[in-house]
Structure 1
Amino acid sequence: MKNVEINILSGFLGSGKTTLLQKILEKEQRGRKKVAVVMNEIGQVSIDSDSVPKNTPLKELLNGCVCCTLSDQLEVQISELLNQYDLDAIYIETTGIAHPIEVLDSCLSPLLAEKVRIHSIITLLDAACWMERKELKIPLQKLIAEQVKHADMIVLNKIDCISRNSLKRIKEELLSMNPRGKIIPAEFASIDIGTIKNLQKKERVEHEKIHAVQHLHMKTYVHTFLHPISEKLFRDFLRTMPDTIYRIKGYIRFTGNPDTLLFQYAYGMPFHTKSGLKMNNTLVFIGDDLDHDNLQETLCNLEDRSVSTAH
């Protein structure tokens, strides 16, 4: 019986994991490879799963992290994929606050050990975020360092946002932390997918256990708008975001625009594109000790003001 290849996509919130996964899946489809995806979201709602092609087997793990609270469920989901499909590879997109080695450990349970082989841990790193990581809380700094340290490949993403000198300095820092990891600079997570296939798996070393949800006090808040909202009021709202909100993602419609937009926000930078989908106007906020009541009140007020100014 063949062993199914497992690839783990790691990296902090907003580093570009879903964008890279899309590019990998396109390449695998062209090569007629049979692949499946396991997608983990720390919140109760999955946004990124819409980016997975409809004919790709997909399992979703919501409201927790596969490296700790959902490790048993990960084992069950992988087992189901192996039983239901004849696969060549499974890609696991972790939450931005997962420890890749603990995800790897969950894949090597006795139930799965003879059916799968770990091919690679790929960590995506936002170049600008790496330069400013000292402003994050200590547990988050440690987590990002661990994601770098245990990667077979580090995709240093968004290098268009930094200078050449900064790029050189970051490469040196990453090499000192992970001498055997392959470092690939990238913009928009564009890399030669073939380099993943040719990766030499490195020997695993001891890791520092960081329980993301408890130690990092990471929480999520999900909000659904019933009406389109004012783009200006929404932009004003984003300018008030505290540093403790690391990521916002979801779907949104603005007043006077029929399109549903895929919205992303990371490290203070908002970005939206046409989604081509008819989705609920739902946003997922991920951050440190989120104030749910305050967020709910602010967003409900924003919607009320949007509706009143539209009439």
Structure 2
Amino acid sequence: MKDVYLFSGFLGSGKTSLLTDVIRQFKELGMKPAVIMNELGKLPFDSQAVDGDVPLREMLEGCICCSGAEKTEAQIQTLLMESEFDVLLIETTGAAHPVEALDAVYSPLFADQLNIKGIVTVADSHLWLNRHTLTPQVRVLFMEQIRHAHLLLANKMDLLSESEQAQVVYELQGFNNSAFILQTTNGKVPLKLLQHMEATARIAKEDIEEARIGKQLQLSSRIVTFDEAVTQEAFEDWVRALPDTVYRMKGYVPVAGVKNPMLFQYAYGMVQWMPEFLNMPPKLVLIGENIGAIDVLGVK
């Protein structure tokens, strides 16, 4: 199973500096990282910072999430089939919402091959203090990236006074009390801190493992494997009973009377079923907050 780290953060926060330093640390341990970089434009400027011996896939024009999720899945699938690597590092665009980025990464086709270690958000500490200057829409995105972090890097601390540094840490702790907060300069973080992360709570039939870093993590994912077919009506009844903290579900659900498992997608209350002409693995991925507390046995 490959460990996966998702690097999030607003434009100019220092994600690429974090990425290049983490690559260096993994290589010094004799491990081979692979990289997926997401950029808003059509030219891969940031990817020039990645060494040529590192397997690299580029997602241009901000397509790692939302409508480009299928492209992201294809890139990961290609990496898994064609490249030898030990760990996957994904740098999202500064305009990506963490839930959407995680959704794009977590395909039921290869979810059991990946271990999502967590979302590392690089927060520009100076921008945090001046977040009131951002437009309302941009400010919401900036704060959502911070709210969903499992590990939060309060970056650019060298630009602040001691009192400002203390204010940033105090406010970030109050805003996301489940994340470990590290004060950083140039996005440098000890590799051991990353390796100790564990964001994914998984289900294997009836066994539940809850993963923690400090406190139980909020944003996490789970895999449900179906042992038998379900009726579409009973399954949708279960979906309607889910709490609002389930943001995304996608996968292949075996429906009674239907030859192949059907493609099922759910996003913020909206449900979509599509016929599948191949016999896909009957697995469903759930993404949301405090997913470990949800009873999934009702879908069996």
State the shift of 1:207 in Å.
Answer: 8.4
CA distance in 2, matches of 1:179, 1:82: 35
Counterpart-to-counterpart distance in 2, 1:203 and 1:159? 26
Give the Cα separation in 2 of the matches to 1:128 and 1:64: 25
| Pair 1:183 & 2:198 matched | no
1:13 paired residue among 8, 11, 14: 11
Q: Does the 8 Å CA contact 1:149/1:177 hold for their aligned counterparts?
A: yes
- Offset, 1:86: 2.9
CA distance in structure 2 between the partners assigned to 1:207 and 1:123 by the alignment: 21
Distance of aligned partners of 1:208 and 1:110 in 2 relative to their CA distance in 1, 3 Å threshold: closer
TM-score, with length taken from structure 1:
0.64
2:12 and 2:62 map into 1 onto residues whose CA distance is 17
Q: Percent identity over the alignment? A: 34
Q: Is the 8 A contact 1:146 1:207 kept in 2?
A: no
Match of 2:40 in 1: 42
**Aligned residues of 1:101 and 1:207 also touching (Cα < 8 A):** no
Distance in structure 1 (CA, Å) of the matches to 2:4 and 2:19: 13
C-alpha distance 59-208 of structure 1, shift in aligned 2 (>3 A):
same
Which stretch has the larger CA shift, 67-76 or 43-52?
A: 67-76
> Corresponding residue for 1:204?
219
CA shift, 1:97, in A, is: 0.8
| 2:76 is the alignment partner of 1:78 | yes
User: Which residue is equivalent to 1:162?
Assistant: 160
> Normalized against structure 2, the TM-score is what?
0.66
Give the distance between the partners of 1:44 and 1:86, measured in 2 at CA.
27
Aligned to 2:151: 153
In structure 2, what is the Cα distance between the partners aligned to 1:190 and 1:40? 20
In structure 2, runs of 5+ residues without a counterpart are 200-216, 221-244, 249-300
d(CA) in 2 for partners of 1:193 and 1:117?
17
Are residue 59 (structure 1) and residue 74 (structure 2) matched? no
Aligned-residue offset at 1:19: 0.6
Counterpart of 2:3 in structure 1: which amino acid? E
For residues 30 and 89 of structure 2, the distance between their equivalents in structure 1, rounded to whole angstroms, comes to 16
Q: Is the Cα–Cα contact under 8 Å of residues 148 and 154 in structure 1 kept in the other structure?
A: yes
Supply the distance in 1 between the matched residues of 2:169 and 2:53 (Cα, whole angstroms): 38
- Shift of the 96–208 alpha-carbon distance from structure 1 to 2, 3 Å rule, reads farther
**In structure 2, C-alpha distance between the alignment counterparts of 1:125 and 1:71, rounded to whole Å:** 25
**Contact kept in structure 2, 1:6 and 1:120, CA below 8 Å:** yes
For residue 208 of structure 1, report the CA deviation from its aligned partner. 8.4
The offset of 1:60, in angstroms, is 0.4
The structural deviation recorded for 1:96 is 0.5
Alpha-carbon spacing, 1:169–1:208, altered in 2? closer, same or farther (3 Å): farther
2:291 maps to none
